[in-house]
């Protein structure tokens, strides 16, 4: 009996030929930002709760919330809020049956990404 000739094939050929698309990226980012909003809410609630507990707890939490880590979390949360809002508006537009063709969906995706960054920068400058 002869041995079957094994052909060396990659495990995931689609990973070699697949190209990322903006609508796919924005869909993933919508889920990620939804979960990331929890981090900002938790830090904000911990900060407010510490003010209700004691002055020492507030000083500790205020130190965390106002250091580079707190600034990073709150800036990321601001971006996540704006991104999630704009992505939600885009989905409402999709639900109306509009913007479903590929060129429009890609433009809307770029609009959500760029718009959320611009709105975050404006939020930081205003506040």
Could you tell me the pTM of the whole model? 0.81
CATH (domain of 109): 1.20.1300.10
Residue pLDDT, tens place only, 47-81? 999 999 999 999 999 999 999 999 999 999 999 99
In a domain, 75, yes or no: yes
Q: Please give the pLDDT value at position 54.
A: 95
DSSP state of 13: T
Range of the domain at 84: 21-38+66-126
The parts of the chain modelled with pLDDT lower than 70 are 1-2, 9-17
Q: What is the count of structural domains for the chain?
A: 1
Spatial separation of the C-alpha atoms in residues 127 and 86, rounded to whole Å = 20
Q: Are 69 and 61 in contact (CB under 8 A)?
A: no
């Amino acid at each position: 009996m002869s041995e079957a000739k094994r052909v060396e094939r990659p495990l995931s050929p689609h990973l070699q030929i697949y190209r990322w698309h903006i609508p796919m990226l924005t869909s993933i980012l919508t889920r990620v930002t939804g979960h990331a909003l929890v981090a900002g809410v938790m830090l904000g609630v911990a900060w407010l709760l510490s003010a209700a507990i004691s002055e020492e707890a507030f000083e500790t939490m205020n130190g965390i919330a106002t250091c580079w880590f707190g600034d990073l979390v709150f800036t990321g949360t601001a971006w996540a809020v704006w991104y999630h809002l704009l992505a939600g508006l885009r989905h409402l537009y999709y639900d109306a049956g509009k913007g479903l063709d590929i060129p429009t969906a890609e433009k809307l995706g770029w609009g959500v990404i760029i718009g959320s960054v611009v709105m975050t920068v404006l939020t930081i400058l205003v506040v």
